[in-house]
Structure 1
Amino acid sequence: MNKDIERVLYSVEDIQNAAKRIGNQLAEDYADKTPILLSVLKGAILWSVDVMREMDSYVELDFIDVSSYHGGVESAGEITLRTDLTTDVAGRDIIILEDIVDTGRTLKYMIELLHKRGAASVKVASLLDKKEGRVVDVAVDYVGFDVPKAFVVGYGLDYKELYRNLPYVGILKPKIYSEEDSATLNSQE
């Protein structure tokens, strides 16, 4: 797998430091509350665990699986709710733990869904923020790293369900994903 990576952007140590920084900040910001940490499957699971470990405070955990990539290298633009959370969010403070915010479509969908269900507040803590890819206006409240416009994998992020187990975040070599994938996805934007 390592041979498929053009270059490493964020090392294991970089990611651990970001998780500690954000986990400590969240614990401070929510010191007198018990927020629900909403981990976005599958990509944010490692990030969620590492951030949660750094929070010396009461939290609850739930999961949601929302996608707009459907296995490709670019957002297809169509949002799919694959797995809904099980917790009643009415009146609760929610922290969405995301692996990457790119176009913002998926995040906007989740924020609107949570507000519709009566959440008291919704904040976002993302490992990566790809501002250059944004097509909708959404705020990321806690950011591990700003990431350049490149296709990144590792530490939960995948390409066709592979590379999630890399301990770092790296740029996938373009030759790994086919021209056919890119042409098809670009026509769906």
Structure 2
Amino acid sequence: MKIHPLVKEVLITTEEINQKCFELGQKISHYYLNEHPTQYNTILCLGLLKGCIPFMAKLITQLVGVECETEYMIVSSYFGGVKSNETPQILFDLPMLITNRDILLVEDIIDSGKTIKMIKYYLYIKGARSVKVVTLLDKKSGRKVDLVTDWYGFDVPPDFLIGFGLDYQERLRNLPYIAIIDQDKIKNWKWTTKR
């Protein structure tokens, strides 16, 4: 596998991501089938764009015995940079009613926790029956609010990460692994047509 030149270190491999998605799918399926039965055996998987796409696509294929609908919101806290802004903003809202729905909020990474905490509160205000949170990556060292995820894949360090949905200036989301970006290289990095 070719490693992108902006990668300082591959943190989580494609194989490890695949295995973790399988494990999370088993746990979530068990919860909704046995501990929290849903109306019509259906949950609403709500992804926060854009970073959630690879993780959510892989995760929902691992849900066994549970029906799921998918929807998306755009809530921005980074705006293409490397540090989170103070106040998350809803840029694209849910296009449907969610009264009495069981929602699985799907995120690629949770850092400060501000965005997820705000969205959970917002979904309950809109009438959700339950809101559970699953994230592939949990950056607990960055927490600024009281938030514990219901399910997560990997604890990650406070480095800036790229790949598998995580971006730098909207690029590098398509890397099939999760890596630490080389902070020295990005200072003078020029995007070219071929590498």
Q: Distance in 1 between matches of 2:168 and 2:27?
A: 31
Which position in structure 1 is the counterpart of 2:141? 132
Q: 1:34-183 counterparts in 2 under 5 A?
A: 34-56=42-64, 57-178=66-187
Q: Distance in 2 between matches of 1:160 and 1:42?
A: 12
Task: Encode CA deviations 1:137-177: one digit per residue, 9 max, x unaligned.
Answer: 11211011000110001000001101100000000001244
The one-letter code matched in structure 1 to 2:53 is I
Q: Distance in 2 between matches of 1:88 and 1:105?
A: 24
Contact 2:10 2:177 in 1 (8 A): yes
Q: Distance in 1 between matches of 2:70 and 2:94?
A: 10
Q: CA deviation at 1:27?
A: 1.2
Task: Encode CA deviations 1:113-148: one digit per residue, 9 max, x unaligned.
Answer: 101111111110000000000011112110110001
Q: Secondary structure at the match of 2:67?
A: coil
Q: CA deviation at 1:36?
A: 0.5
Q: Distance in 1 between matches of 2:112 and 2:54?
A: 22
CA RMSD in angstroms, aligned pairs only: 1.3
Q: Secondary structure at the match of 1:59?
A: strand
The one-letter code matched in structure 2 to 1:100 is I
The one-letter code matched in structure 1 to 2:26 is N
Q: Distance in 2 between matches of 1:136 and 1:178?
A: 31
Could you list the structure 1 runs, at least 4 aligned residues long, displaced by more than 4 angstroms after superposition: none
Q: Structure 1: where are the runs of 5+ without partners? A: 180-189
Q: Distance in 2 between matches of 1:109 and 1:3?
A: 36
Q: CA deviation at 1:87?
A: 2.6
Greater gyration radius: 2
- Between the two proteins, what is the percent identity of the paired residues? 38
Q: 1:13-52 counterparts in 2 under 5 A?
A: 13-31=15-33, 32-33=37-38, 34-52=42-60
Q: TM (normalized to structure 2)?
A: 0.88
Q: Distance in 1 between matches of 2:51 and 2:67?
A: 24
Aligned residues: 179
Q: Distance in 2 between matches of 1:104 and 1:35?
A: 23
Q: TM (normalized to structure 1)?
A: 0.91
The one-letter code matched in structure 1 to 2:56 is S
As a proportion of its length, which structure holds more helix? 1
Task: Encode CA deviations 1:21-63: one digit per residue, 9 max, x unaligned.
Answer: 1111111111242110001100001100100000122111100
Q: Structure 2: where are the runs of 5+ without partners? A: 189-195
